[in-house]
Amino acid sequence: MKIVIQREKIAVMAALLLICFSATAQDFSLLRERMVRDQIEARGITHEPTLNAVRSVERHLFVPPERRNMAYDDGPLPIGHGQTISQPLIVAYMTELVNPEPHHTVLEIGTGSGYQAAILAEIVERVFTIEIIPELGNSARELIDDLGYENIEVKIADGYYGWEEHGPFDAIVVTAAAENIPPPLVRQLKDGGRMVIPVGSPFMVQTLMLVERRGDRVLTQSLMPVNFVPFTRGGR
Ligand code: SAH
C-alpha cells in the first residue's frame, strides 16, 4: 500500500514538473513572439530572413541563467566580464543592414554570448566570429556546438586583424565600439561587401556606421547614435 502511494506521489510530482517545464518553454516562445512584434517589427525591421532568425533563436539560452526572465526585454543585458549581449532591436538592425544572403560568408568581431553569430548563422552559409576574452569565446563556442550550429567557427583573438584566411567576406558585423574603422577589416570586405561598425570613444555617444566597398572606393555612412562596449586591443 505504502509503495503504491509513493508511486502515485512520484507520478504526480513528475507530471507537475513536466507542466512547469513546458509552461516555461511556452512562456519563452510567447515572449519571443512579442519581442519580435513589439520591439523589432514595430520599429521598422522588414527583412524576412532577419525576422525569421530572431523568431527562432532562443535568446534566453544566451544570457546567464539568473537573467533568463529578462532575455526578451527591450535592452542589452550583462553576460559577465564587463560585457553585454546587445539589445534585440540592435542585433536585428545590424543583421538587416548587411543584407545577408544564404550563400554569404560573414565575419563577426565580438562573439560575446554568441547570439548575434547564431542569428547570422540562421541566414547565411558560414559565420566566422572572433572574441578577445577567452572565457566568453569558449562558453559561446560550447553553446553554439550544443545547439548544433555547424556553420559557425569561433576564434579567440584580437579581431582588429580580421580572419584573413577565410576572407574576403560578404559582410562584417562589429559588435564593439572602435575609435577608428580597422583597415584590415576594410581590406577583408569583398567588392560590394558591407560592414556595420559602431565608431567612437567608449565614454561618448558612438555612431553606428555602414561601410561599403565598391571597387577601390570605400563608402561610409553614419546611421545613428549607439552605445556599445569598447573594442579592446591586444589580447589578454
Ligand atoms: N555580439 C555579442 C555582443 C558582445 S559585446 C553578442 O551577441 O552577445 C562585444 C564583445 O566584443 C565583447 O564580448 C568583447 O569582449 C568583444 N571584443 C572587444 N574588443 C574585441 C576585439 N578587439 N576583438 C574581438 N572581440 C572583442
Decide whether any atom of ligand 1 lies within 6 Å of the 85 Cβ: yes
Q: Cα–Cα distance between 128 and 206 in angstroms, integer?
A: 25
Does residue 113's CB lie within 6 angstroms of at least one atom of ligand 1?
yes
Q: Examine the pLDDT at 128 and tell me if it is beyond 80.
A: yes
CA distance 139 to 98: 26
In the predicted model, what is the mean pLDDT of the chain?
93
Q: What is the pLDDT of residue 107?
A: 98
Q: What percent of the chain has pLDDT over 90?
A: 85
Nearest CA to ligand 1 atom 11: 110
Structural domains of the chain sorted by starting position, each given as residue range(s) with its CATH number in brackets: 32-226 (3.40.50.150)
Tell whether ligand 1 has an atom less than 6 A from the beta carbon of residue 132: yes
Grid coordinates representing 20? 512547469
Q: For position 21, what pLDDT does the model report?
A: 60
How far is residue 72 from each of residues 40, 62, 87, measured CA to CA in Å? 11, 11, 9
Q: Which residues pair with 92 in a beta bridge?
A: none
Chain segment 147-205, per-residue pLDDT in tens: 999 999 999 999 999 999 999 999 999 999 999 999 999 999 999 999 999 999 877 88
Task: Check whether 22 has a pLDDT greater than 70.
Answer: no
Question: 2 pLDDT exceeds 60?
Answer: no
User: For a substitution probing ligand 1, which of 58, 59, 61, 83 has the most ligand atoms within 8 Å of its CB?
Assistant: 83
pLDDT in tens, 28-55: 999 999 999 999 999 999 999 999 999 9
Say how many C-beta atoms besides its own lie within 10 A of residue 18's C-beta: 10
Going by pLDDT thresholds of 50, 70 and 90, the confidence category of residue 132 is very high
Q: What is the pLDDT of residue 76?
A: 96
Q: What is the pLDDT of residue 154?
A: 98
- The pLDDT assigned to 23 comes to 57
56 is catalytic: no
Cα radius of gyration rounded to whole Å, the chain: 20
Query: Are the beta carbons of 179 and 204 closer than 8 angstroms?
Result: no
Three-state secondary structure call for residue 89? helix
**With 90 as the cut, is the pLDDT of residue 5 above it?**
no
How many C-alpha atoms does 231 have within 13 Å on its Cβ side? 23
pLDDT surpassing 60 at residue 1: no
Task: Find the 32 Cα to ligand 1 centroid distance in Å.
Answer: 24
166 is written with which cell numbers? Answer: 577565410
Can you give the pTM of this predicted structure? 0.91
